[in-house]
Amino acid sequence: MRETETIPIMISQFFKKHFPICPYQFSFILLCPLRSLFLSPRTLAKRLEIREDSTVLEVGPGPGYYSVPLARQLPHGKLVLADIQPQMLAQAKKRLAKRGQTNVDYYQCDGSQFDLPDNHFDAIFLITVFGEVQHQQEYMTEFFRLMKPGGILSISEIAIGDPHITPINNVQELATHAGFTVDKIYGSRWNYTANFRKPR
Ligand SMILES: C[S@@+](CC[C@H](N)C(=O)[O-])C[C@H]1O[C@@H](n2cnc3c(N)ncnc32)[C@H](O)[C@@H]1O
């Protein structure tokens, strides 16, 4: 392996070991507007194929960079934000409340299962989160249970500045193992959105 390849891998391993999840103290980085250059909220909303009355689950919203524009796309629907760090959820809640979004519920994750009903969501999405999830197959199985037939699971990973990125092949394998079918893949292996569908 060349040195140019080993250095990024070593940096990534260091971060994964010492910071297995993005510390809430660094959440301000996630609010940088330049992030839209890699994935804009508008592009994300199109990829999720949501309607005004959709019920949507965002797992790992952090401080809510994507949650605010997404909640605005759901005037007759509901957005549920589920994060493992209560401090992140509190920041997202503050941000959405400040912008007058009342169509949002908040849920504290335990890292393995969701105490939420079966066949409930039209879409579930994660942006730069899946690589931080410890029990990935368990989460996939839960997403399948929570999703309405025909619903979309959308996983986006952006390598720039994120040491936790999960390779798209791994995501695809875990999603299909849980019962999803591959729907659409956008972007490149360094900046992708992988959409999966629960069969009807
Ligand atoms: C890198 S941040 C991304 C935040 C947001 N999606 C964004 O793009 O701005 C990752 C977020 O996922 C959350 N997270 C990590 N593991 C999780 C898990 N197992 N379940 C739910 N949330 C998790 C972290 O607490 C953090 O808020």
Q: Which atom of ligand 1 is nearest to the CA of 65?
A: 9
pLDDT over 70 (residue 14): no
CA 20–ligand 1 middle distance (angstroms): 11
Q: What percent of the chain has pLDDT over 70?
A: 90
Q: How confident is the model at residue 160, as a pLDDT?
A: 75
Q: Which atom of ligand 1 is nearest to the CA of 111?
A: 19
Q: Which atom of ligand 1 is nearest to the CA of 133?
A: 19
Pairing relationship of beta strands 104-108 and 181-188 according to DSSP bridges: unpaired
How many C-beta atoms lie closer than 10 Å to residue 105's C-beta? 12
- Choose one of 40, 84, 91 to mutate for the ligand 1 pocket test, by most ligand atoms within 8 angstroms of C-beta: 84
Q: Which atom of ligand 1 is nearest to the CA of 162?
A: 1
Domains of the chain with bracketed CATH: 3-197 (3.40.50.150)
Which phi and psi angles does 199 have, rounded to 5°? -60, 150
Query: Nearest C-alpha to atom 20 of ligand 1 is from which residue?
Result: 84
Q: What is the pLDDT of residues 119-144, one digit of tens each?
A: 999 999 999 999 999 999 999 999 99
Closest CA to 67 of 92, 99, 31, 33: 92
CA 129–ligand 1 middle distance (angstroms): 5
**Mean pLDDT for all residues in the chain:** 92
Q: What is the pLDDT of residues 82-105, one digit of tens each?
A: 999 999 999 999 999 999 999 999
CA 22–ligand 1 middle distance (angstroms): 7
Residue list, ligand 1 pocket, CB within 6 Å: 21-22, 30, 59-62, 65-66, 82-85, 88, 109, 111, 127-129, 132-133
Give the residue-averaged pLDDT of 20-34. 90
- Using pLDDT thresholds of 50, 70 and 90, give the confidence band for residue 163: confident
| Dist CA 74 CA 48 (whole Å) | 12
3-state secondary structure of 194: strand
Question: Does the predicted model carry a pTM greater than 0.85?
Answer: yes
- Choose one of 16, 34, 83 to mutate for the ligand 1 pocket test, by most ligand atoms within 8 angstroms of C-beta: 83
Residues 6+ apart with CB under 8 A from 43: none
